[in-house]
């Protein structure tokens, strides 16, 4: 019996070791030269609004680090041509497993010294500034190999990258919070014309593919991802769920283009300025070696104001030199952005019979891959009224976006206050970490309004 157990353990150990070895070998090792060749070959052409003030630049300030207001002022004093001459993108290239296949992800970091943007509310006619120092937008070009036997150890260079890889999809960051990225997936048998042409939003630098190269974002053409909100490009700052052509200004002959380092015959605009590429690893290493004190870091990078920290989604501290690893984690977070913002725990206050009531809740969210049908939100809440017994709620909602921050809710719940189930309706407005939601129970006319914060 002992020998049998030992044999089983030995076989299991070999199986686990073999599995781990296979997992490790499943991801090919790319040399630095191969990574650079891939990043060069698939570098996009970036198309900017003719009145854009900020273009991507190298985060590394040499030989001295200036406080961010000085850095922004010096950049503002440059001419447009001087800004374009300094244009640079950081890059990194890494493998990723998806559906049992190995993909090669090319990640580009577009760093801007300033984000200058105003948000226009949809159903609620408000205006809000989204200005802040440092703006980092990520663009992902996902590739697959044409040759299952790659990579050859001695192979590198632009021609090698062009001949061995093809684009599967392009994923471009829009805005943080719950807004999904703009993405285009290449249909089986099709080929995306390269270099990829990418539209850039004025001031805030959200990006979207321009697959048909018409200078406009076109839903279902330039973005094939199914989502309730398609951000696209919104130079106007509108937050409506429905995308309108008027949201962006056309990128015509007056647009400012920045081209990648590899010339493309006939596809790039004439005399297109070319940006430089530099490894993101170099940027991360440089920033870590600075070992800045907290005060010096605040001077150089800036600190998110309490208003933006409370009511916004941007965190300026991590935008100048992000320190996340090249393992696809941030890529996956971007793709799951809406689910992440809607799932978790919340605490706050509500009203029950006009008494202030503490409410604690947990939420789970399922994004339905359809623009027509609502997503599903399940919620369990415990309410602690003042000098009254504890109340319990369990609700399943259908959640539908009205704009980028507002969801209309229709569902069915069970409420211990009435000891019965009831249809319910509500509307939830998300402002940064806070949610404001009025609820109506249709069976007994019960109503409460609650404000909670996520954690």
Of 335, 424, 347, 333, whose CA–CA distance to 378 is shortest?
424
Domains of the chain, by residue range, sit at 24-335, 340-454
Q: What number of other Cβ atoms are within 10 A of residue 404's Cβ?
A: 22
For 294-310, write each residue's pLDDT tens digit: 999 999 888 887 777 66
139: β partners? 108, 172
Q: Where are the beta strands (DSSP E) in 149-221?
A: 165-172, 182-185, 197-200, 207-209
SS3 261: coil
Q: Which alpha helices (H) appear in 27-124, and where do they start and end?
A: 32-41, 68-76, 80-85
CB 139 within 8 A of CB 195: no
pLDDT of residue 3: 42
Counting Cβ atoms within 10 Å, is residue 20 exposed (0-12), middle (13-18) or buried (19+)?
exposed
Which of the four pLDDT bands, split at 50, 70 and 90, describes residue 4?
Answer: very low
Q: How far is CA 27 from CA 35, 95, 153, 168, in A?
A: 14, 6, 14, 18
Q: What number of other Cβ atoms are within 10 A of residue 12's Cβ?
A: 10
pLDDT of residue 269: 80
For 402-421, write each residue's pLDDT tens digit: 888 899 999 999 999 889 99
CB 231 within 8 A of CB 180: yes
For 46-73, write each residue's pLDDT tens digit: 999 999 999 999 988 655 578 999 999 9
Q: Which residues contact 323 (CB under 8 A, 6 or more apart)?
A: 284, 287, 288
Residue 148 tokens, joined: 């299952």
pLDDT of residue 285: 94
Summarize the chain as % helix, strand, coil (round to 5).
20, 35, 40
Examine the pLDDT at 434 and tell me if it is beyond 70: yes
From 148-152, 155-159, 180-184, 382-386, the region with the lowest mean pLDDT:
148-152
Across 259-281, average pLDDT: 88
**How high is the mean pLDDT of the chain?**
87
From 29-33, 194-198, 429-433, 434-438, the region with the lowest mean pLDDT:
429-433
Q: Which residues contact 143 (CB under 8 A, 6 or more apart)?
A: 38, 42, 103, 104, 105, 106, 165, 166, 167, 168
Across 269-273, average pLDDT: 86
Calpha distance 369→372 (Å, rounded)? 9
DSSP letter (8 states) at residue 180: P
pLDDT of residue 384: 92
pLDDT of residue 107: 98
Of 409, 414, 365, 417, whose CA–CA distance to 388 is shortest?
417
CA angle 242, 436, 392 (to 5 degrees): 120
For 365-380, write each residue's pLDDT tens digit: 998 888 788 999 999 9
Across 212-221, average pLDDT: 94
For 316-363, write each residue's pLDDT tens digit: 888 899 999 999 999 999 999 888 889 999 999 998 665 789 999 999
Examine the pLDDT at 105 and tell me if it is beyond 90: yes
User: What is the torsional sign of CA 339, 343, 347, 352?
Assistant: positive
Q: What number of other Cβ atoms are within 10 A of residue 328's Cβ?
A: 18
Calpha distance 315→234 (Å, rounded)? 21
Which of the four pLDDT bands, split at 50, 70 and 90, describes residue 76?
Answer: very high
Topology, domain 340-454: Lipocalin (2.40.128)
Across 124-137, average pLDDT: 86
For 226-243, write each residue's pLDDT tens digit: 777 889 999 999 988 889
Which of the four pLDDT bands, split at 50, 70 and 90, describes residue 150?
Answer: low
Across 17-44, average pLDDT: 72
Give me the percent of the chain exceeding a pLDDT of 70. Answer: 89
């Amino acid at each position: 019996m002992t020998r049998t157990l030992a044999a089983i353990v030995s076989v299991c150990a070999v199986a686990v070791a073999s599995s781990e070895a296979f997992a490790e070998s499943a991801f090919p090792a790319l040399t630095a030269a191969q990574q650079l060749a891939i990043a060069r070959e698939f570098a996009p052409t970036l198309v900017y609004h003719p009145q854009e003030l900020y273009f991507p630049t190298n985060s590394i300030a040499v030989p001295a680090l200036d406080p961010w207001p000085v850095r922004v002022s010096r950049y503002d004093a440059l001419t447009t041509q001087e800004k374009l001459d300094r244009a640079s993108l950081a890059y990194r290239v890494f493998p990723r497993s998806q559906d049992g296949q190995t993909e090669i992800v090319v990640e580009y970091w577009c760093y801007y010294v300033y984000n200058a943007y105003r948000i226009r509310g949809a159903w609620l006619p408000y205006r809000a500034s989204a200005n802040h120092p440092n703006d980092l937008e990520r663009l992902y070009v996902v590739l697959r190999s044409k040759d299952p036997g790659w990579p050859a150890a001695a192979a590198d260079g632009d021609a090698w990258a062009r001949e061995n890889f093809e684009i599967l999809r392009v994923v471009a960051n829009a805005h943080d919070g719950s807004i999904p990225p703009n993405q285009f997936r290449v249909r089986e048998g099709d080929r995306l014309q390269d270099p990829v042409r990418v539209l850039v939003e004025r001031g805030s630098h959200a990006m979207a593919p321009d697959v048909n190269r018409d200078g406009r974002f076109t839903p279902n053409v330039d973005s094939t991802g199914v989502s309730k909100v398609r951000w696209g490009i919104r130079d106007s700052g509108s937050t409506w769920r429905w995308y309108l052509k008027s949201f962006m200004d056309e990128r015509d002959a007056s647009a400012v283009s920045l081209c990648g380092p590899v010339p493309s015959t006939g596809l790039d605009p004439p005399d297109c300025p070319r940006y430089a590429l530099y490894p993101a690893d170099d940027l991360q290493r440089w920033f870590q070696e600075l070992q800045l004190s907290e005060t010096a870091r605040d001077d150089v990078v800036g600190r998110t104001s309490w208003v933006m920290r409370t009511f916004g989604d941007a965190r300026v501290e991590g935008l100048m030199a992000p320190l996340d690893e090249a393992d696809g984690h941030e890529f996956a977070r971007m793709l799951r952005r809406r689910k992440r913002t809607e799932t978790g725990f919340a605490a706050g206050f509500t009203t029950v019979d006009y008494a202030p009531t503490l409410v604690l809740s947990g939420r789970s969210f399922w994004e339905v891959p359809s623009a027509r049908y609502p997503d599903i939100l399940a919620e369990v809440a415990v309410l602690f009224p003042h000098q009254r017994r504890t109340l319990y709620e369990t609700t399943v909602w259908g959640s539908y976006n009205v704009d980028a921050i507002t969801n209309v809710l229709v569902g069915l719940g069970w409420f211990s206050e009435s000891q019965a189930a009831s249809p319910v309706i509500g509307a939830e407005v998300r402002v940064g970490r806070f949610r404001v939601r009025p609820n109506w129970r249709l069976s007994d006319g019960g109503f409460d309004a609650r404000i909670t914060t996520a954690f």
